[in-house]
Structure formats: C-alpha cells, structure tokens
Structure 1
Amino acid sequence: MPHEVCLVEPAGVTPQLSLSRMLRPEDGYRCKCECWTSFSAGPNFLGAQLLLAVAVPECWAAISFFRTQSCNQGRTPTLAVVPSESSEELLRSASDASDDFMFWPIREQELLERVKRLIGAATRDKDTVQGVLTEELGLEQVIGSSPAFIELLAQLTRMGPSEAPVLITGETGTGKEVCARSIHLLSRRRQQPFIPVDCGAIPEHLAESELFGHARGAFTDAHRDHKGLVSLADGGTLFLDEIDALSLNMQAKFLRFIQESTYRPVGGEQFCRANVRVIAATNRRLEQSVLDRQFRNDLYFRLNVLRLSVPPLRERRGDIALLARYFLEKLGGSGVPARKWLSPVALRKLEDYDWPGNVREVSNVMQRAIVLSPGSQILPCHILLSTGDPRGIECTPSPSNFRCAKSKAIEAFERQYVLDLLQKHDGNITRAARDADKDRRAFGRLAQKYKWDTSL
C-alpha cells in the first residue's frame, strides 16, 4: 500500500517546482495536491498519513491554517516548509502546528528522510491489531523515529517473546531501563513483576542478602525472614543495572542461580527455586572487564545470549527534536502557566549538540529551559548546555583538584601493589598479607575492593 500524503502548495505552482516530483509513486508515495486558496476554505486530508504544508511564498492562508491546526489534538502528522526569511508570525504558527518543519530551498534527500520519519514504519495490517496493542503497551515510553531507533524497536519486539537472558549495553542516560521494561511488557511475563536492581547502589556486604534474602538469625539484626529481590521477581523479570558493579564473589553466586534457577537465602538451610528471566545492563565494555579479570567470563557468556546495544543520541540526531518536544509537553504542565514552544534557532542549537548525557540530559535541559524562559517562546539563550563532555573528564593534578589527584594516585598505587602481591603468592591472601606486613582481614578487603575473587 502506498503512503498517502496530502500536499498543500500555493496556487499556480509549476510541476517543476512542486514537491510532488520528489514524492514519486515508485518510491511508495501517493500525493493528493491542494492549493491554499481552496484548502483554507475546507481542508480535506482525511486518510492521509502526512500533511506536507508548503508556505512558500508566505501567505495569510497558511498562517490561518497553522493557527487552527495547533488547537487540533488529534491532528495528522504535519511537515511545514517555510521561506528562509519568514515573518515571526509564520514561524510561530508553523512551529506550534507542525511536528517538523524545513526552510526553503530544500534538498530532496533531506525531505524524504523527514517524511519517512514522520510517517513511521510500514503500515501494519488490521489482522495484527492485537499484536500492535501489545507493542504499544510495551513501547509507549520509547521516543524516536530515526533509522537506528526503528532498528532498536524491531530488536525489542523480537526479544520480548523469548525467555533467553538479555544483555543491554549503552552509555549513561540512553534509556537502558526503559528498553528492559519494554522487553518485559512484550513478553509472556508482562502480568508478573518487573524488579529493577541498581547493583552499584548495593553495599557489597549486603548484596547477597538483598538479592537472595536471609533467614531469621542469619546475623545480628535479622529478627525475621526476609525475601530477596530474586524471590520478589519470581514468575517475572529481574533487571540488573550496572551488573559490572557486583563483586567477583557475588558474580559467582549469581552465576549458579542463572544456571540452576535455585538459590539459598543467607543463613538458610534449604534451597529455594525461582522462575525468573534475567536482563542485565552496563555502560562499560564487559569484554574488556573480562580481560582485566574484573568480570567473570562464565557469567558474561551466560548473560550475553541476546545482545541489545542502545545507540547514543548523537547517532540518532533526528530524534532530538521529538524528544525535546516530548519533554516540553510532559514537563510543561507542572507549575507552568502557559504552553511553551521552541524557536527554530533554539531547536537548531539542540540538534547541533552532542548530548553526552543522552536522553536524561535532554530532559534536564528542557526542564531548565521551561523555568528560565519568561514568555511562551524558548530562545537559544534559555538552552544552557554543558561546555565539557563528562565522559572525558579526568582527575589530573592541578591546584583546583589536588584532593582528587591525590586520591587517584593512592588508588592506582594500592591496586597495583595488591594485585602484584596476589599474583606473586598465587592468590593466597594469608601469604600476601604476611608479605605486606598487614592484617589478613584488612588485606582481604583491599583484594575485594580491587575485584580479586577471594573465593578462587
């Protein structure tokens, strides 16, 4: 089925200048052409998947239509084309009413990419409505329409029905937990619990109790039996964020649970069984962590059955405008008296930025812009962006960060000293501690701190 596009242009436009020549039938488009004179009297674009509104040259009929369209909640996706030298009134009305807009003159390839993005993936068949509803339920929090993002959605829908473990990789703020929730909601377990665990926030001495629970009397403050997060996730999905933060000792215990689906609470006498699907996430390269002996290779291979790589926002720039408008709508209602909109130049500033903090940073920037803009229009001066990339920040000796540099130097020395001694004594903590003239328990804590598996 061809994609239906309603094209509105000024009266008298020649076929050589009409945008219909770029949306050819052989490329899967069917254009219904209208002129502003008749269109403003009674717009008729029912059934169209996209409204392509060309206001070149600028005309009052286009401005009037955009004003009306901005009040229409269930409007057809709209792509506006305006002159590069447009009046403020046209820019404002077009920005309010359109999902995207371009400045004249335009390039054919750019037009086709934006049209594809607004129309979305191929039209689904009516017979798959039930499947579509399931997908919508699982993907309603996932925003984007760039080719990289469409591929990500396709992978999510394929991974959802499976029972295999999933390893999600991606930079901080890319939405790994949202993807994990989507996989859960697309699975047969969607009616069961989804239990997220931030491994980096659990103290090492409490990790086993938090995950597997403990029996009454297991330690001083254990006055009653306590269910762990694995037990709470029984029948559903357990999401382990920052899986690389688990100690090597804890990784070994979790590996046994994945292999056998059984675990023993701390201080318990009996093994328990849990039917859990495991999804893990990390922002590090686990392959390198395995080589550095900071992550168990057997656990890595157990988790790395289905691999999902979430692309950073700088690799899907076409989604920046969608995300900015989404957060503008979502955050604009909280304590803000009037609806706000992004000026074209502010939008361009957002699209030119690399977003090291990814989607989370977009949310923060838009929230800040809403608060700082006194009127209804958000200008470039209200878009405050980071001047440096936190991914590249290093603690180097300087008068302003002496404490940080000192801490780094001590940590580097400790790590190398401890690992060298352990290698010298084949991992024997007692002999290594005696050689270092240090208490065995204190040396053991250092070994655990630097990810040496003391159980080996």
Structure 2
Amino acid sequence: MRRPTSGELGAARPLSAETGRGGGVSEQRALRLQLGICGNSAELGECFRLACRFARSEAPVLLRGETGVGKELFARAIHYMSPRRPRPFVPVNCGAIPETLFESELFGAAKGAYTGAAVDREGLVEIAHGGTLFLDEVDSLPARAQVALLRFLQEREYRRVGSGALRRSDVRMVAATNASIEDCVEAAQFRLDLLFRLDVCSLQIPSLTERRSDIGPLVAHFLERFAALYQRPVPAVAPEALAWLASRDWPGNLRQLENVTHRAIVALTGDVIDLALLSRVWPTAKRGCAARPDADALAEGPLIAARKRAAFAFEDQYLHQLMEAVGGNVSEAARRAGTERRAMGRLLKRHGISRLRG
C-alpha cells in the first residue's frame, strides 16, 4: 500500500485556523468550496450541518453512502472544522492493505521485525497522532485486522510489530463504507463490537440522484478546475446540456460526473459545451429515474401550461446556480450561459434575482 505523503496529509490547510475551533459561516463556506462540496440542495445542506456538529466532538464517525458520493471529502471537512485541524489527516484504504501487513502498516514495525526491516518504522496511527485517521472501505477489513483495530480503539494503545514497548496515540477515528455494514455483521464478515466502536456518529452522504439540483454547481466547479489545469478559459454550458446532465443516471455519482466533465472539456474545440458534444463524449448515457416517480403528470394541467411551468422552474434553478457559481457577476453569467449581458439582465429581473455585482 502506498503510504500518504506529507503533501496529502496537509491538503486543504490554507484556511484560517479559526475553522479549527468551529469557524464561522464564511470559513465553512470557503472550506466547502475548497473541498468541492458544492450545491444548495436540502439533502446536502442537512448533511453538511450534521458534519459541522460532529466536527466539534471527539466521537468516532461512520460515513455511509454509495461509491463516488464524496465520503472522503466529508471526512476531510470534519477534520478541518475540528480542533484537530493543525494536525495530520491520514487516509487509509483498508481494501488495499493485505491482511498480513495490516498491523505493521497501522502500528509500525521495529528494526529486524521482518526481512528488510532495517530501521524502526512508524505506523499510520503514529503519523496521525493528534489528528484524524480516516479508514475508507472499512467493511473490507479481514478478521485479524478487525481484532487489531478493535484492541486499539478500546485502549488507544499499541505495539509496533516486533517490539514489546507499549505506545499510545491520540487519534480521531472516521470510517467510511459503501456497503450495508449491518448486512456484513449478519453474514459474520464484520464484528458487531467493532461496528459499535466506529458507529457512534453516523452520516449518510446523499447520492447524486438524490441531489440532482446540485449538478449545475458541481459542473461549474469541475470546469473551473479543469480549465485551470489546461490553462484555458472556463467554457459556458448550454442550458439544454445542463438539463440533459441532470436527467441522466449517475451510478458513479460525483466521480462519474467529474469524469464526464473532464472528458467534455478535453474534447471541446469552441467555448460552449452543448448537448451535441455531451452526446459524443458520453454515448452510453442512460436516463435516470424521475425525481418524483409517484407524481401525477396529469395533475399539472394542460400540456402547454404545464410545459411553461416546468421550463420556468428549470430556468429559475439554472439562474440561481449560475449566479452563485460566478459570485453574482452578470457579465460572466451571460458568457457562461452563451447569451448577451442585456438578455441575462432581463432573465434575472424576470426571476427576481438580484445582481450582486457587475
């Protein structure tokens, strides 16, 4: 397993140390943007508020959610909003550690403990002392590793492999799983006592399907990042292209959306990502389930009136997300939407959206 570098352990530290004592709303918003936790959906907002409350405690946190929903982003948010922020955040992919190496990776090894151990080697709990240890895919831990982890969680004491000296480490434990860990317990694949130790505070990260309204801000975030990477202007996204993305199936969640956005900006030759481009770079896209599968479409009234209401609702959502993404800059909003500034001003007025600047 590749051990985390000092750069990875210190990622996301540029914010004020005030965030480590809970921080204000502005610090929390800055951290969300820095980590890429983007969106205004009620589901995301409630999840982040819970993460803020958990950050102020020392209790272990278990993050649940489908693959690609951003569990590590929330783990980092919990760490960087906590008093432990000045100390390391150490991510561990439990599924990547062979059972025979788990104890030496986690607790370190003494010189001569095994062939090739020429010097004392510190473990990840020692590296994370005073900070946060993030156990990703914790459900994949083999039985022997679960016993070793449980012993450490109970006593906060450990021994390096090959050493009799008892050591202590003060770490905040955050774990994540994309499986039903209760089903793993039922199948005798995960220890119930270990689950009780890890699942003190539980946080369910919503899937992208549950927060489709956040696709606009996420696309804007990814485009800004990739535009900077390729040293090119941030392209606009046609409204119909954004609507198409919001209607797709996203089994890979944020990671899949990031990949599609990356693919689009690499293939883009102009300055607007349109529906034709998306169809070319993602020909296998499938339509997702309706946001309200039990809704009665006929209750919306005549077709033309219902279509106008739906279009107005989408336009309103699109404009709110766009104005937030550009910080209220009307000229930039017009450029990204592929329209003139005067037309954008009329749209904003029609929807009662104030101009923050520009």
TM-score (norm 2): 0.70
Q: Is 1:317 matched up with 2:212? A: yes
CA–CA distance in structure 2, aligned partners of residues 163 and 351 of structure 1: 38
Q: Between the two proteins, what is the percent identity of the paired residues?
A: 47
SS of the aligned residue for 2:170 comes to: coil
- 324 and 134 in structure 1: CA distance in 2 versus 1, 3 angstrom threshold: closer
Q: Is 1:165 matched up with 2:60? A: yes
Q: C-alpha displacement at 1:206, in angstroms?
A: 1.2
The CA RMSD measured in Å over matched residues stands at 1.8
Match of 1:155 in 2: 50
Match of 1:50 in 2: none
The one-letter code sitting in structure 2 at the alignment partner of 1:352 is S
Of 73, 83, 88, which residue of structure 2 is paired with 1:193?
88
- The question of whether the paired residues in 2 share the 8 Å contact of 1:199 and 1:243 is answered with yes
Q: Is 1:385 matched up with 2:272? A: no
Q: Where do residues 31-42 of structure 1 align in structure 2 (5 Å cutoff)?
A: none
Match of 1:135 in 2: 28
Q: Is 1:260 matched up with 2:149? A: no
1:188-222 Cα deviation digits (max 9, x unpaired): 11111111111111122211100000011111111
The one-letter code sitting in structure 2 at the alignment partner of 1:341 is A
- The question of whether the paired residues in 2 share the 8 Å contact of 1:210 and 1:228 is answered with yes
The one-letter code sitting in structure 2 at the alignment partner of 1:385 is W
- The question of whether the paired residues in 2 share the 8 Å contact of 1:138 and 1:183 is answered with no
CA–CA distance in structure 2, aligned partners of residues 226 and 272 of structure 1: 13
1:201-260 Cα deviation digits (max 9, x unpaired): 112221110000001111111111000000000111000001112111110110010111
- 386 and 147 in structure 1: CA distance in 2 versus 1, 3 angstrom threshold: farther
SS of the aligned residue for 1:318 comes to: helix
1:374-395 Cα deviation digits (max 9, x unpaired): 1111111222337378xxxxxx
CA–CA distance in structure 2, aligned partners of residues 273 and 211 of structure 1: 13
Greater Rg over alpha carbons, structure: 1
- 273 and 130 in structure 1: CA distance in 2 versus 1, 3 angstrom threshold: closer
- 337 and 348 in structure 1: CA distance in 2 versus 1, 3 angstrom threshold: same
Of 64, 78, 81, which residue of structure 2 is paired with 1:183?
78
CA–CA distance in structure 2, aligned partners of residues 360 and 282 of structure 1: 16
The one-letter code sitting in structure 2 at the alignment partner of 1:334 is L
Of 226, 234, 237, which residue of structure 1 is paired with 2:121?
226
Aligned length: 262
Instruction: Give unmatched runs, 5+ long, in structure 2.
Output: 1-20, 287-358
Match of 1:202 in 2: 97
SS of the aligned residue for 1:168 comes to: strand
- The question of whether the paired residues in 2 share the 8 Å contact of 1:264 and 1:270 is answered with yes
Q: Is 1:144 matched up with 2:39? A: yes
CA–CA distance in structure 1, aligned partners of residues 118 and 284 of structure 2: 52
- The question of whether the paired residues in 2 share the 8 Å contact of 1:169 and 1:281 is answered with yes
- 369 and 280 in structure 1: CA distance in 2 versus 1, 3 angstrom threshold: same
CA–CA distance in structure 1, aligned partners of residues 275 and 191 of structure 2: 48
Q: Is 1:366 matched up with 2:254? A: no
Q: C-alpha displacement at 1:133, in angstroms?
A: 4.4
The one-letter code sitting in structure 1 at the alignment partner of 2:179 is R
Q: Where do residues 266-277 of structure 1 align in structure 2 (5 Å cutoff)?
A: 266-277=161-172
SS of the aligned residue for 2:121 comes to: coil
CA–CA distance in structure 1, aligned partners of residues 177 and 235 of structure 2: 36
- The question of whether the paired residues in 2 share the 8 Å contact of 1:193 and 1:237 is answered with yes
Instruction: Give unmatched runs, 5+ long, in structure 1.
Output: 1-127, 390-456
CA–CA distance in structure 2, aligned partners of residues 226 and 386 of structure 1: 49
CA–CA distance in structure 1, aligned partners of residues 198 and 90 of structure 2: 17
Q: C-alpha displacement at 1:138, in angstroms?
A: 3.9
- 338 and 158 in structure 1: CA distance in 2 versus 1, 3 angstrom threshold: closer
- 301 and 329 in structure 1: CA distance in 2 versus 1, 3 angstrom threshold: same
Q: C-alpha displacement at 1:339, in angstroms?
A: 3.4
CA–CA distance in structure 2, aligned partners of residues 340 and 274 of structure 1: 48
CA–CA distance in structure 2, aligned partners of residues 186 and 157 of structure 1: 7
Q: C-alpha displacement at 1:135, in angstroms?
A: 2.2
Match of 1:326 in 2: 221
Q: C-alpha displacement at 1:325, in angstroms?
A: 1.2
